Amino acid sequence: MDIENIGFETINLGHGSGGELTRDLLDKIIFKTFSNPYLDQKHDGSIVKIEGEIAISTDSFVITPIFFKGGNIGELAVYGTVNDVAMCGAIPKYLSLAFIIEEGLKVSEFITVVQSIKKAADESGVLIITGDTKVVERGKGDKIFINTTGFGTMHPKANISVHNIKEGDKILVNGFIAQHGMAIMSEREGLEFESTIESDSTNLNFLVNDLLDEFGEKIKLFRDPTRGGLGTVLHEIANDISKGVFLKEAFIPLEKQVAAACEMLGLDPMYVANEGVFLMIVDPSIETEVLALMRKHTKGKNAALVGEITSEHPKKVVMESLIGGKRIVSPLVGEQLPRIC
């Protein structure tokens, strides 16, 4: 898109007033980018047809910086919500999209964000069907906040529920953990690691869909361990089902440079945020097939078994450590990392 044609370089309060400038912003950037039959109705809302049970998930994206290695806030806002819908065992279809822009945001940056949203939505196979744009005074926001709500239809074979989890069920993840959190940290805090760490932000819905097609209700649970990391999610699960989680440190996929960065900062990768990662709890009978399927998929190349559900230590996460012996993975109190999504 050509900035010359937009006619302004930064976004100001007028763009949120609802008047001429707002229309300008919407027409020239948003509608132009996302044009589709539903959005083009230009109603107060969108009228869509969805059959059967639906899954809805909403999330607000607040992140500093808005651009980082491996992504930006725009694609995160799409992938985050798409993945949340997918974790319910649903096929994401539509997204709502709302911006809160801080006065002074460069139009060029806004355009980049919008284009990333478009690209991510296309990649995930979802349509943006309704939205909102507000502008707040300088100092009342942080460049840009985005809220998305996702709508998806339930996968016919899905039966996702913590209540289905039994002793002996296997815990798998689709790839390397802790990358996103460390990438954001390095970008935001200007921290320097031996090598660049990129966010793994991506959509997981197609992989999830394939898994459900193949294994249906033998999959007990999908979860994306975003904020709080793998450790926090596993604690939640252990508490919800009053069973124990037993992990093997040696099995947990962790890239060397991410491990080194965590070590340098005294962080436990188990508590570092993820974006393109999900964990699943499955019936032990399908463990190898699930792994084989995931490893064939681009988003599950590094899939691994990390542990299993046990009745031995209810509500506790215990890890067999690399140096031998088992350690208790204690729940995170307070935040190990500053708030990111």
Partner 1 sequence: MIKTYKISISGQVQGVGFRPYVYNLAHQFLIKGTVSNNEVGVIIFISGEKSNSENFYQKLISFPPPVSKIQQSSIKEIEVIYFNDFKIIPSEKGGQLNLPLTPDFAICDTCKTEIKNPKNTRYNYPFTTCVNCGPRWAITQTFPFERNNTSIHKFTMCKPCLEEYTNPSNRRFHSQTNTCKTCGIDLFLIDSEGKTIETSSENLFKKTAKLLLEGKIIAIKNTSGYLLCCNAENSEVIQQLRTKKNRLNKPFAVLFPSLKHLENEIELNQQQIGSLTSSESPINIISTKNYIGNLALNKIAPRLNQLGVLLPYTGILQLIANQLSFPIVATSGNIHGSPIISKNNEALEKLQHVADYFLQHNLTIEHPQDDSVVKFSKKFQQKILFRRSRGYAPNYLNIKINSEEKILAMGAHLKSTIAFYPNENLYVSQYLGNLDNYDVYNQFCKTSENFIQLFEQQPQVILVDKHPLYQSTQYGKELAVKYHSKLIAIQHHKAHFTAILGEYNLFEEQVLGVVFDGTGYGDDTHIWGGEFFSYENKSIKRIGYLENFDWLLGDKMAKEPRISLFALASEEMKPILEEKFSPSELKNYAYLKSKNKLKTSSVGRLFDAVASLLNITDINSYEGEAAILLENSILGYNLKDCTLYCEVTSEGFSGKEILKNCYKDLQHGISKEDIIYNFLFTLASTILKFATEKGFQKIAFSGGVFQNTTLVDMLIELAPKEIKLYFHKELSPNDENISFGQIMYYLNIK
State which residue, 139 or 266, has the beta carbon closest to partner 1.
266
Q: How many CB atoms lie within 10 A of CB 55?
A: 22
* Per rule CB under 5 A, count of chain residues that contact Mg ion: 2
324 touches partner 1 (CB under 8 A): yes
| Smallest separation (angstroms) from partner 1 to the CB of 261 | 9
Find the binder of Mg ion among 68, 73, 83, 84 (CB under 5 A). Answer: 84
Q: Which of 227, 167, 206 is nearest to 298 (CA)?
A: 206
Contacts of 189 (CB under 8 A, 6+ apart): none
State which residue, 189 or 240, has the beta carbon closest to partner 1.
189
Strands 304-310 and 219-223: unpaired
Each residue 164-193 as x (binds partner 1 by CB under 8 A) or -, in order, gives -------------------------xxxxx
Cβ atoms of 103 and 11 closer than 8 Å: yes
Q: How far apart are CA 13 and CA 300, in angstroms?
A: 44
264 touches partner 1 (CB under 8 A): yes
Using DSSP, state whether 125 is helix, strand or coil: coil
Find the binder of partner 1 among 63, 197, 286, 318 (CB under 8 A). Answer: 318
| Smallest separation (angstroms) from Mg ion to the CB of 341 | 8
| Smallest separation (angstroms) from partner 1 to the CB of 321 | 9
Where does residue 42 rank: exposed (0-12), middle (13-18), buried (19+ CB within 10 A)? exposed
Find the binder of partner 1 among 138, 213, 330, 339 (CB under 8 A). Answer: 330
Which of the choices Mg ion, partner 1, none does residue 59 contact, using the CB cut-off of 5 to 8 A by kind? Mg ion
